[in-house]
Amino acid sequence: MEKQNSKYRWVVFVSILLTYLLIVSQRTAPGLISDQLMKDFNITASTIGLLTSIQFFAYAGLQIPIGILSDRFGPNFFLVIGALLTGIGTLIYSLATNELVLLFARLLVGTGDSAIWVNLVLILSQWFKVREFVGLLGIAGMAGSFGFLLATVPFSAWITRSGWRPPFFTSGIMVVLCGVLLYYVLVKKPKTFEWNDTIPKKQKKPREKTLILLRRIFSTRQAWATFFCHFGTVGTYVGFIGSWAVPYGMHVYGLSRSDASQLIMVGLFGAIIGAPLTSWISSRLDSIKRPYVIVHCIVFLCWASFLFMNGKPPVLMLTIIFFLIGYGNGASALTFAIVRKSFDIKEVGVVSGFANMGGFLSAVLLPSIFGKVLDHFHASASSVGYQYGFIIPVIFASLGLVGGLIIVEKRQEVLQSQVN
């Protein structure tokens, strides 16, 4: 029985999506309680930015090592360990007594989370054919957006009712249980089946040395294109909503926590639509570059509009802006469609890690720099500090647009990859 023709592959797919959905919710849920943490632990806006940054720093820094190890030793073990570390880190976060424990907990969450997406891409590559892979990648992106959605109104309402610790404790338990589920589905159960090797031994080539592989990949235009694409769309969105979006809505517009999280939820609806719709448009046009460049242009203009309107656009326009920025985040699934169609299957892990690192390097830098801008102006409760802070995502989004423009279309290679 071949993996790519078995019914069991759908069990694998659903299990991975459930885990991914829950883990993604914990990427941005701490942003709901930024002001509470500042009050409870007597910490500054810069420290809040550091909390978010250290999580994404671990995530970004481990992307390439995780990609290399997963390509070489297989993705199953790393996905299970990643889920367990994320769950344990969330549990520690819920029990924290000072800012040092908070920092350690977010570092642990970032370390575990770093193993999730790269290995998700690899596992889908192994269990599904190329034509299925592109569509399922859009669904996976949509599942991640639902995870972000959980961290808005539902999680905010839960925090308002019971305080912030019980929701994070419960979420940690659920993620740990998902790690146990993945062990059974990916490691233990498949041992009872007999799988046919889909790659004949004669076609297998000796592995390239790691340094040579990295040197070759880092010198390719396509790899850097994916890096900057993710840097511009994912990092700006995740970095902002994971740290300053809720305080921005509360301080600048006078919204309640629940209302501010509803504003973010609009962006998440955009992200939910963005992944499958943009993948469908790309398939219809037989092009990844054209729709992706348009998406990057829209994201850049959205961030720039904050500057043009002194950090406080009208509420209706703000809603539209968040929707479009969210759409761009969802459309970023095209980054990995580029990776899958441009590189050999043995290199998908490390290139996916490199591309993903771009997005979360941006997410590392944005919250911390944004927090320093707010502290500099002593204006975290007014639009002045935010107005200057929005210069950062504008610059980052412009780099994403550059990435989209330097993508090299390889349509003929798609047919070859489907045959292989």
Distance CA 370, CA 107 (A): 20
CB-based contact 338:288 (threshold 8 Å): yes
Instruction: Read off the tokens for 44.
Output: 């500054």
> What is the DSSP secondary-structure string of 78-96?
HHHHHHHHHHHHHHHHHT-
CB-based contact 350:63 (threshold 8 Å): no
Can you say how many angstroms the Cα of residue 146 is from the centroid of all Cα atoms in its chain?
A: 12
Distance CA 52, CA 42 (A): 17
Give the model's pLDDT for residue 201. Answer: 46
CB-based contact 239:366 (threshold 8 Å): yes
Distance CA 358, CA 56 (A): 11
Half-sphere exposure of 154 (CA within 13 A, CB side): 11
**Domain boundaries, given as residue ranges, for the chain:** 8-190+211-419
Taking CB atoms within 8 Å and a gap of at least 24, the contacts of 158-165 are 159/32, 159/33, 159/257, 160/257, 160/258, 164/32, 164/33, 164/36, 164/94, 165/94, 165/95
Residue that the structure tokens 């802006």 belong to? 321
Those residues of the chain that have pLDDT short of 50 are 198-203, 380-381, 412-420
- CATH assignment of 8-190+211-419, given 1.20.1250.20, 2.60.120.380, 1.10.3720.10, 3.40.50.12780? 1.20.1250.20
Phi, psi of 152 (to 5 degrees): -115, -110
b/e sequence 278-292, b meaning 16+ C-beta within 10 Å = bbebbbeeeebbebb
For 97, counting Cβ atoms within 10 Å of its Cβ (0-12 exposed, 13-18 middle, 19+ buried), the class is: exposed
- 334-393 per-position pLDDT tens digit: 888 888 788 777 777 788 888 888 887 887 788 778 878 877 776 544 567 788 888 888
Give the model's pLDDT for residue 207. Answer: 63
Give which of 6, 414, 395 is closest to 189, Cα–Cα: 6
Give the model's pLDDT for residue 1. Answer: 56
Q: What share of the chain is helix, strand, coil (3-state, %, to 5)?
A: 85, 0, 15
CB-based contact 93:172 (threshold 8 Å): yes
Distance CA 317, CA 302 (A): 10
b/e sequence 152-165, b meaning 16+ C-beta within 10 Å = bbebbebbeeeebe
Residue that the structure tokens 């997963």 belong to? 70
* DSSP, res 97: -
